[in-house]
Copies of this chain bind each other. A is one copy, B any other.
């Protein structure tokens, strides 16, 4: 199964002509999951090879405008571009994000008379009080749901921290389990871990032949995890004839943060194939970055090292950093310097560092 990540916006604070506001898409078999949706994301999608109509799930890391203001418009445009077959029931778009997101969409879609032809549900993550300074926490009054639900709004879940695993279970299906974990920022922020299920190992065909089992449908049953009873009455268990399971891929995407909160982030991100971490400012501006709830390349590298990620992808750069393609000799604020800073911090770790740029697509290859 193919799997890749495409960055639609890699700039911080606001969208600019050089860097869109935060948004990226994880694509598997044509289905797209959108992570964050800053203003202009729908236009960035149109410029990319992706199709907005394929978005089935949305994950919002935190409620700052540069990660959220594009969502109402995106939903409207996806709806306008969806072929409405009255015979067909359209799937619900599931939207995950911090408490307050439901009311945000209810009001923005409601007051603008926006009709969607598909239903949507907002599943809200309940932040803990240690995820931001007190002034960044939304009161119950602010997030209370007033006014009628939007006609296309379906009831969503409220997801609280599972203390035993220090994480939030968003959902699990046949292919993936997706969890969220806590970050520290000016307002509560989350990271997301997409974990593909392990695949069964190869069949030990030599052993199967010795056991008298010829290639055929029974091989498939064993591979699928079912025991097989031979005519002799002997039962073959899958564990006997399968090599070790092949680990599923893991992609972890962190929202804005100056640090992680609790044990959840490192546990969940352990061994990530792709760890996407913000690096708003260079190491030399660490104090300013932390003051604003952000990270430097060195700080991002420390997380990548702590969880033994395979590849660290930096994004969410201050708009002062132009894309490499527009960088001129002698320009200050060279974005490549951010990469060098992360690489310095990751020496001898074997962790590869990549700078995200708008429209960069990174494949996440299957493990073998």
Binding site for B on A (CB under 8 A): 13-17, 21, 39-40, 42-43, 46-47, 63-66, 68-70, 72-73, 76-77, 80, 100-101, 103-104, 107-108, 110-114, 136, 138, 141-144, 146-148, 186-187
Contacts and interface: CB of A to CB of B under 8 A. Distances in A.
A112 B68 contact: yes
A112 B64 contact: yes
Nearest to A65: B112
A73 B77 contact: no
A80 B292 CA distance: 13
B13 A80 contact: yes
B13 A142 contact: no
Nearest to A14: B77
29 contacts: A13-B77, A14-B42, A14-B76, A14-B77, A15-B42, A17-B43, A17-B47, A39-B40, A40-B43, A63-B111, A63-B113, A64-B112, A64-B113, A65-B76, A66-B73, A69-B112, A103-B111, A104-B107, A104-B108, A108-B108, A110-B142, A111-B138, A111-B142, A113-B187, A141-B147, A141-B148, A144-B146, A146-B146, A146-B147
Given A64-B112, A141-B147, A80 B14 contact: yes
Give the one of A47, A65, A103, A113 with max B CB within 10 A: A113
A98 to B, nearest CB: 9
Nearest to A100: B111
A13 B114 CA distance: 11
A75 to B, nearest CB: 9
A62 to B, nearest CB: 9
A100 B111 CA distance: 6
A256 B217 CA distance: 64
B63 A112 contact: yes
Contact of A108 (B46, B47, B107, B113): B107
B39 A42 contact: yes
A109 to B, nearest CB: 8
A148 B77 CA distance: 31
Contacts of A113: 63-64, 136, 138, 186-187
A66 B73 CA distance: 8
Top 10 nearest A-B pairs (CB, nearest first) are A146-B146, A39-B73, A107-B107, A14-B77, A69-B73, A65-B112, A100-B111, A40-B40, A113-B187, A104-B111
A139 to B, nearest CB: 8
A244 to B, nearest CB: 47
Given A65-B108, A113-B138, 8 more contacts: A16-B43, A17-B43, A39-B70, A40-B40, A68-B112, A111-B138, A113-B136, A146-B147
